[in-house]
Amino acid sequence: MLPAMVQHEIPSRNETPPLTGARRRLAPEARTPQILEAALAEFAERGYAGARMAGVATRAGIAKGLIYHYFPSKSALFLATFRAATGPAFEAAERRNFITGGPVRAMLADLIGVAYARLREAERERALFRLIVVEAGRFPELARFYREEVLSRAAGLVHAMLHAGVASGEFRPEVAEMPCLAEAVMAPAVAGSVWRLILGEHDAPDLAVRQAPAR
């Protein structure tokens, strides 16, 4: 059973209204989001260990066997749910920074500020982050998902920005090659989210001001 601090993020099963007409035949592009929405609620309420494919099916109003037609295992379903929740944030960050352009220092500050704000305010990302923090020790696949789907992708984005800063003359050439610098740049957003998880909403230091873009 997932701790209460995670359970409150998503309505409980009893509070989740049945999906009207969910059993009608849907195209895959419509059925998949329906399953992922139900899976997010199931994982957030019951945790990774407690989540059941049958519970996802009940939430989605479909037969359990239909879920296996789209996702062969619980880990595959979780990964798809994780990608669906975090993917749009990365796409928005890439558009925000590389389409609008501007000084790289300001772009980096803006990127970290946006990442922190999403972990603070976006319900989906917040629920999944809490789930991974709580359960990754027991389930290595959760840690692997986070490393591959979030940490590596975010580090790649920061690395690209550091190289852009070198090319523009804002940073010294060696900056782009410093070990773990990208991870260090991302650390405040992660630390702020962990503090909020441990200390609670009102007692954790608010890093929003510290991460504000330079004027």
- Is 192 in the same domain as 117? yes
- Is 172 in the same domain as 108? yes
Predicted TM-score of the model (pTM): 0.66
For residue 38, what pLDDT is reported?
95
Cα 176 from Cα 84, distance rounded (Å): 30
Note whether residue 77 is domain-resident: no
Contact 59, 13 (CB under 8 A): yes
- Is 93 in the same domain as 183? yes
Q: What is the mean pLDDT of the chain?
A: 77
Longest dimension (CA), the chain: 60
- Is 134 in the same domain as 188? yes
- Is 29 in the same domain as 55? yes
User: Which structural domain range is residue 180 located in?
Assistant: 84-199
Contact 111, 158 (CB under 8 A): yes
- Is 18 in the same domain as 101? no
- Is 94 in the same domain as 187? yes
Contact 130, 140 (CB under 8 A): no
Give the number of domains in the chain: 2
Give the torsion sign (CA, 71, 76, 78, 82). Answer: negative
CATH (domain of 25)? 1.10.10.60
List the chain residues with pLDDT less than 50: 1-23, 209-215
Note whether residue 29 is domain-resident: yes
For residue 208, what pLDDT is reported?
55
pLDDT tens digits, one per residue of 26-35: 666 779 999 9
- Is 102 in the same domain as 167? yes
pLDDT tens digits, one per residue of 133-144: 888 888 888 888
Considering the chain, what percentage of its residues have pLDDT values greater than 90? 20
- Is 96 in the same domain as 181? yes
